[in-house]
Chain A
Amino acid sequence: MTTWTGWLTVALLVIPTLGAAGLFVLHKPTESALKAYGVIVSGAALLPAAALALTFDYGDAAAIQHELNAPWIPGLDLRFHLGVDGISLPLVVLTALLTFLCFVYLLGARAVGRRRELVFALLVLDIGMIGTFLALDLLLFFVFFEVVLIPMYFVIAIWGGPRRRAAAVKFILYTLLGSVVLLLGLLLIWSQTGTLDIVALAGAHGAGLPRGVQIVAFIAVGVGLAVKTPMWPLHTWLPDAHTEAPTVGSVLLAGVLLKMGTYGFARIAIPVLPDGAHAVAPWLGAFAVVGIVYGALACLAQRDLKRMIAYSSVGHMGFVLLGFATLTPVGINAALFGNIAHGLITGLLFFLAGAIKDRYGTADMSALGGGMLGRLPYLGSLLTFACIASLGLPGLAGFWGEMLALLGAFQPAPGLSRPLFLVFMAVGGLGTLLTAAYFLVMLSRVTHGSPGPLVPTDGTDVRKYEYSAWVPLVLLILLFGLWPKALLSITDPAVQTLLGAR
């Protein structure tokens, strides 16, 4: 069961843990030492992720690989069960990469107060995020899911904007509330099946779980995950948290934390509770498309750049949830693709918004005034690129998730009401139009026109450290956009197994 490569998964968790512990040992480290320390540790954590991707057997992407299964709390029959398959591998690599890029970005960021604590918080965050994607035991999943909250709370509350306290409190209370419901759902599954092993539960495809229990459990687990995703109308913690969080916080929040919610759907809710998913799917789809249109409309009327990007996440996650709601292989592929694409694109967008805020001292669009392409041409061009990727242009990563989600909705799983999902598809299509509208209106306001009265306090265009943090994202967006097979060929076999199609 446990293969030697299973230690790669452990290494992914141990390296940031040791790194975080090492911070206590350092005696009065200097700023630059801390900068280098963060990059080295997160870079070291990226190595096992890369090794994982390289040694992964792509011919058998449906199987759990690099498995580690050790007793954890024998009294409760809890196991420390880690592993990756086609669903989690891309997310693990994305997480390690984004964390690393965040540290690279911090290299150049100007004086950050309490840098040692920031590095510590980000490393603990890394443990939680990676652990969530690796865990194959329901309770272990939940533990990692929760571990993430605390460092993120401090990241927002300490290094955030002027109203950071309220945003941080809202973030942690809201997501904790969701977690409680999630835990109840997981315990319900446990009490009915007597096991917490995700692989065994998913392999059973809901056998032994009565339909009524499945529905209740799906609603509980689904609501818990939907808070994190976030699904309309459980999204209001997101704009506040994003607006107030520091740049790296926003990037990880949008790039990885939101994915933990959607990943839960693919890993737990749908495979373990197929009947429940079937019963709730129309509702999930309805909330998803409402979220798409609602998020897009909310973006149209935003004034703050970061807040707008935050609301755009609501819309994009709507497409991901719509993909799940179809319960078809193509829909779930779409959701997983959309997950990765959103992580890359919105991560980039938040990096850019942070850079703009650094330079101009504000992210308010009317204050920025326009003409960024004239003043900071490279930054403006990158912003244009990221926005265009985010609005789902074919050839860039954002397109395939949206298109495939709509394709899934065109022909949902047997037993789901087709006319209803056709309506969802049409509304979702309208959403893509509105998405394009708000991004272009924003670009027009900020990058076009003659430069406004507000002069950036720091007039240098994109710097070296910024390039090194952003270019990998740009390249990956292009790669997955031009060659979607790179991702679909990993997820598709896993999704087929997950739905029991093969």
Chain B
Amino acid sequence: MIVVAALAVLLPFLGAVGGLLGPRSVRWAAWVAVVPAAVSAVLAAWLAIGRARVSGTLTLIETGSLPISVGLDVTELSALTGVLATVVALAVQVYSVGYMRYERRYRSYSAFISLFTSAMLLVVYAADLIVLYVGWEIMGLCSYLLIGHWWEDRANSRAAVKAFLVTRLGDVGFLFGIFVLGFGAGSFRIDDIITRFPEMSPATLTVGTLLLLAGVAGKSAQAPLHTWLPDAMAGPTPISALIHAATMVAAGIFVVARLFPVFAAAPGTLTVLGAMAALGMLGAALAALAQDDLKRVLAYSTISQLAIMAGALAARDADAAIFHLLTHGAFKALLFLCAGLVIHRVATNLMSGMGGLRRVMPITFATMTVGFAALMGLPPASGFFSKDAALAAMGEAARGGVLNTIFYGTALLTVAVTGAYATRAWLRTFFGPPAVTADDHHTGEGPATMLWPVVVLAVPALLLGFAVLTPPHLGTAVLSVALSLLGAGVVYAVWRRDRVRDPARLLGPLRVPFERAFYVDTVYSTLFVRPVWALARLVVRTDDTVVDGAVRGSGRTAQGMSGLLRFAQNGNAQVYVSGLLAGLLVIVIGAVVLG
């Protein structure tokens, strides 16, 4: 059985190797990308259906301290997340064949996606935190490579660097968190940590989990490390679907859920997580309301939805968080792939360049409507059930304290704003007068390889909620649907008055700060980036003048001193002999006097 899990991880990796080093043909690259992803998906599904816990250790690496056990451990949670990752990855690979096959660099592109999938599966199935960290970081690398896929444009390159560095900042904390928990439990094995956490002191637990949280915030784009995600939209659209739905951002939430017993034992960490979530969900939703770029709307909505999952985790309901993670994975991947179809057709990311696409793109319209409904949490779409579960958990926790009540209130407010921005995006894209598009060589909706994944993903986005047979909580369900519709209604009312202008004008003077996401980027730039550059220049100057200056100074001092002596070297032999005589006299007198 463990071989199955190992194969699921290794196949996409081999696919990546084959794609990079194999023959230079798009056909080969496409096959070598799609087939391993498909096999992995089947294997992951088999693991999930089997429901048996599978684990195995290949070897133990002695480090001189705690050993690293190279092994896999498929729990129920891992199996589910694995299915999500592989299915979305497969959809993205198939979709990319249509979307990217005329790209010059399709080969490296599809290979990096395969590597990404492999790394995500390693994270999901890892039995050891260090092994998990390996996958965790490789994902960061792949996101760097894929966001920077169109590196001819400097802006993309900058976005890629930013994504890598911001997540790496969190990962440094993550690694230290692994050390803290690992030494606390005497092992890096996740199992051992989960069973031995009662032996750890509360301080160790809190510090360890807080440090882990830094990495989670980085990967899952939670405040204050969320700034890389909107910029990451610079990558090709299928990548956005992959990163923002199934893999990278899911990894953070997954890790918290995987180690949930440990987190649950550290109430301080959960409060911090709740605060981060509350800040992130509302802030990102408001930012999404003012964006003009369709993909950025979806990016901010990802931050907001992930914050809802984090909120559910902070409310001690890991099941609700994972439920929402799964449905979100499905509907967000769907939304991004639909956005890709739209962008493919109109050749712009901006919603001001879209409109009226309902008639020309009926399939996209239908599937994206499902996606938006799920995002807003409208029944019967999957998002309704999962968001309801999360909200109910937060409502339950709200009885426990003022802070939790505030978190719950924020979540409800976020639901309303979500309704508003989703409606705005939906209306601006598909309704209203058609925008004039200069580039109209794409007729129809797109190739079948792009449409099929969308249609297939629409099924879980719509129906996944019924798979988990928990009845909705009546109170929160009614409340959230009402709030969501309220937000939607306000936007619709504004839009009705003028179908060309952006309903975001409702925001008035707040629109610019929302669009700039409250200037967080600017603040970070002045607080961190520029001082580091200044420091770097200072270091170079210091290195030249002080450190190396001392070295050169010692050389110069030696030369200067020899310069004094060489005045005596005037070439006149008689002077030398006089010196000799003087020296002799001094020695003689010295010998006489002292002797």
Interface size class of A (residues with CB under 8 A): 35 or more
Residue A194 lies at the interface, judged by CB distance under 8 Å to chain B: no
Which residues from chain B contact A433 at a C-beta distance below 8 Å? 165, 168-169, 172
Q: Say if the beta carbon of B589 comes within 8 Å of chain A.
A: no
Q: Cβ of B62 < 8 Å from any Cβ of A? A: yes
How far apart sit A404 and B188, CA to CA, in the bound complex (Å)?
Answer: 13
Asked if A388 contacts B141 (CB within 8 A), the reply is yes
The interface residues of chain A lying within 8 Å CB-to-CB of B157 are 444, 448-449
- Tell me if B138 counts as interface (CB < 8 A to partner A): yes
B543 at the binding interface (Cβ < 8 Å): yes
Q: How far is the CB of B53 from chain A (nearest CB, A)?
A: 26
**What is the 8 Å Cβ interface bit string for chain A, positions 93-124, against chain B (1 contact, 0 not)?**
00000000000000000000000000000000
Instruction: State the CA gap A485–B152 with chains docked (Å).
Output: 39
Q: Which residues of B contact A134 (CB under 8 A)?
A: none
With both beta carbons as reference points, the residue of chain A lying nearest to B161 in the complex is identified as A440
Residues 219 to 240 of chain A near chain B (Cβ within 8 Å): 232-233, 235-237
Within 8 A of A (CB), among B150-182: 151-154, 156-158, 160-161, 164-165, 168-169, 172-173, 175-176, 179-180
Query: Is B63 in contact with A492, judged by CB distance below 8 angstroms?
Result: yes
Cα separation A425 to B207 with both chains bound (whole Å) = 15
Question: A166 to chain B: closest CB distance in Å?
Answer: 10
Contact size class for B? 35 or more
Q: Would A448 and B164 count as touching, CB distance under 8 A?
A: no
Residue of B nearest to A428 (CB): B172
A489 neighbours in B (Cβ, 8 Å) = 61-62
The verdict on B536 contacting chain A, using a C-beta distance below 8 Å, is yes
Residues on A with C-beta less than 8 A from B134 are: 394-395, 399
Of residues 101 through 141 on chain B, the ones whose CB sits less than 8 Å from some CB of chain A are 130, 133-138, 141
Q: Is the CB of B536 within 8 A of A301?
A: yes
Residues 325-359 of chain A: 1 if any B CB is under 8 Å from the residue's CB, otherwise 0? 00011111100000000000000000000000000
* B138 and A330 contact, CB distance less than 8 A: no
Q: Name the interface residues of B168-212: CB closer than 8 Å to any CB of A.
A: 168-169, 172-173, 175-176, 179-180, 183
CA distance A408 to B134 in the complex (A): 18
Q: Is the CB of A440 within 8 A of B144?
A: yes
* Residue A371 at the chain B interface, CB threshold 8 Å: yes
Asked whether A492 lies within 8 Å of B62 as measured between CB atoms, the reply is yes
Cβ-neighbour of A485 out of B59, B169, B173, B175 (below 8 A): B59
| Complex interface: stretch among A30-38, A253-261, A292-300 | A292-300
* Minimum CB–CB distance for B57 against chain A, Å: 13
Question: A441 CA to B169 CA in the complex, in Å?
Answer: 16
- Flag A459-486 by CB within 8 Å of B: 1 or 0 each: 0000000000000000000000000110
Contact B179 A407 (CB under 8 A): yes
- B456 interface hit (Cβ, 8 Å): no
Q: Contact between B141 and A393 (Cβ–Cβ < 8 Å)?
A: yes
Contact B164 A436 (CB under 8 A): yes
Assess whether B148 is interfacial by the CB under 8 Å rule. Answer: yes
- In the bound complex, how far is the Cα of B144 from the Cα of A393, in angstroms? 12
Q: How far is the CB of A471 from chain B (nearest CB, A)?
A: 11
How far is it, in angstroms, between the C-alpha of A301 and the C-alpha of B144 when the chains are bound?
22
- Decide: A448 and B151 in contact? CB cutoff 8 A: yes
Complex contact A488–B63 (CB within 8 A): yes
The smallest beta-carbon distance between B6 and chain A, in angstroms, is: 14
| CB nearest neighbor in A for B543 | A298
Which residues, 310 to 331 on A, are CB-close (under 8 Å) to B?
328-331
The chain B residue with its CB closest to the CB of A299 is B536
Residue of B nearest to A435 (CB): B168
Does any Cβ of A come within 8 Å of B539's Cβ?
A: yes
How far is it, in angstroms, between the C-alpha of A294 and the C-alpha of B546 when the chains are bound?
Answer: 13
Q: Is the CB of B64 within 8 A of A330?
A: yes
> Would you call B64 and A450 a contact (CB within 8 A)?
no
Which single member of A399, A406, A436 contacts B165 (CB below 8 Å)? A436
Say whether A333 contacts B539, CB under 8 Å: no
The residue in A394, A404, A429, A449 that gathers the most chain B C-beta atoms within 10 A of its C-beta is A394
Residue numbers in A under 8 Å from B567 (CB-CB): none
Set of chain A residues within 8 Å of B543, measured between Cβ atoms = 236, 294, 298
The proximity string for B residues 229-240 relative to A, scoring 1 for CB distances below 8 Å and 0 otherwise, is: 000000000000
Assess the A236–B548 pair: CB atoms within 8 A. yes
A410-B179 contact given A374-B152, A436-B164, A436-B165, CB 8 Å threshold? yes
Q: Provide the residues of chain B in CB contact with A173, threshold 8 Å.
A: 555
Instruction: Give complex CA distance A441, B532 in Å.
Output: 13
Are B175 and A332 in touch, CB under 8 angstroms?
Answer: no
Residue in B138, B151, B532, B551 whose CB lies within 8 Å of A395:
B138
CB distance from A448 to the nearest CB of B (A): 4
A426 within 8 A of B: yes
Q: How far is the CA of A485 from the CA of B183 in the complex (A)?
A: 21
Which residue from A300, A411, A430, A485 sits with its C-beta under 8 Å from B61?
A: A485
Once bound together, how far apart are the Cα atoms of A242 and B115, in whole Å? Answer: 35
Docked pose: A59 CA to B39 CA in angstroms? 40
CB of B443 within 8 Å of the partner chain: no
Contact of B138 among A232, A297, A331, A393 (CB under 8 A): A393
Q: Is A302 an interface residue (CB 8 A)?
A: yes
The answer to whether A448 touches B154, judged by C-beta atoms less than 8 angstroms apart, is yes
Chain A residues with CB below 8 A from B569, complex form: none
* In the assembled complex, B52 has its CB within 8 A of some CB on chain A: no
Is the beta-carbon distance between A394 and B137 smaller than 8 angstroms? yes
Q: Which residue of B lies closest to A235 (CB)?
A: B547
- Tell whether, in the assembled complex, residue A449 and residue B151 are in contact, meaning their CB atoms are under 8 Å apart: yes
Q: Which residues of B contact A143 (CB under 8 A)?
A: none
Complex interface: chain A residues within 8 A of B70 (CB): 485
When C-beta atoms are compared, the residue in chain B nearest to A384 turns out to be B145
**Is A406 within 8 A of B175, CB to CB?**
yes
B311 to chain A, nearest CB (A): 28
Name the distance in Å between B110's Cβ and chain A's nearest Cβ: 15
Map CB proximity to B onto A414-451 as digits: 1 under 8 Å, 0 otherwise: 00000000000110011011101100110010011110
Contacts of B63 in A (CB 8 A): 329-330, 333, 404, 407, 488, 492
Whether A300 and B533, one on each chain, are in contact in the complex, defined by CB atoms closer than 8 angstroms, is: yes
Interface hub of B64, B156, B533, B537 (most chain A Cβ within 10 A): B64
Given A301-B539, A333-B63, check contact A447 B172 (CB 8 Å). Answer: no
Query: Please, how many angstroms separate the alpha-carbon atoms of A450 and B154 in the complex?
Result: 8
Chain A residues with Cβ below 8 Å from B548 are 236
Identify B539's interface contact among A297, A331, A388, A394, CB under 8 A: A297
Quick check: is B25 within 8 A (CB to CB) of the other chain?
Answer: no
Tell me whether B165 and A236 are in contact (CB under 8 A): no
Q: Does residue B366 face the partner (Cβ distance < 8 Å to A)?
A: no
Q: Does B65 contact A (CB under 8 A)?
A: yes
B540 at interface, CB cutoff 8 A: yes
B520 at the interface (CB under 8 A from A): no
Query: Which residues from A are CB-within-8-Å of B540?
Result: 297-298, 301-302
The yes or no answer to A277 lying at the interface (CB within 8 A) is no
- Check B165–A488 contact: CB distance below 8 A: no
- Chain B positions within 8 Å of A495 at CB level: 64
Shortest CB-to-CB span from B549 to chain A, Å, is 9
Within 8 A of B (CB), among A178-215: none
| A165 interfacial by beta-carbon distance below 8 Å | no
Contact A407 B536 (CB under 8 A): no
B binding-site residues for A, Cβ under 8 Å: 59, 61-66, 70, 130, 133-138, 141, 144, 148, 151-154, 156-158, 160-161, 164-165, 168-169, 172-173, 175-176, 179-180, 183, 532-533, 535-537, 539-540, 543, 547-548, 551, 555
Which 9 A-B pairs rank lowest in CB-CB distance, beginning with the nearest?
A329-B64, A330-B65, A300-B536, A330-B64, A394-B134, A448-B157, A448-B151, A236-B548, A301-B536
Mind listing 23 A-B residue pairs with CB under 8 Å? Answer: A232-B547, A236-B548, A294-B539, A298-B536, A301-B533, A328-B64, A329-B64, A330-B64, A395-B137, A403-B130, A408-B65, A410-B183, A425-B176, A429-B172, A437-B165, A440-B164, A440-B165, A448-B152, A449-B152, A449-B157, A450-B152, A485-B62, A489-B62
Q: A294-B539, A449-B152 are in contact. List 18 more A-B contacts (CB 8 A).
A: A236-B543, A236-B548, A300-B532, A301-B536, A301-B539, A330-B65, A393-B141, A399-B134, A406-B179, A408-B64, A425-B176, A429-B175, A429-B176, A437-B161, A444-B148, A447-B151, A484-B61, A488-B64
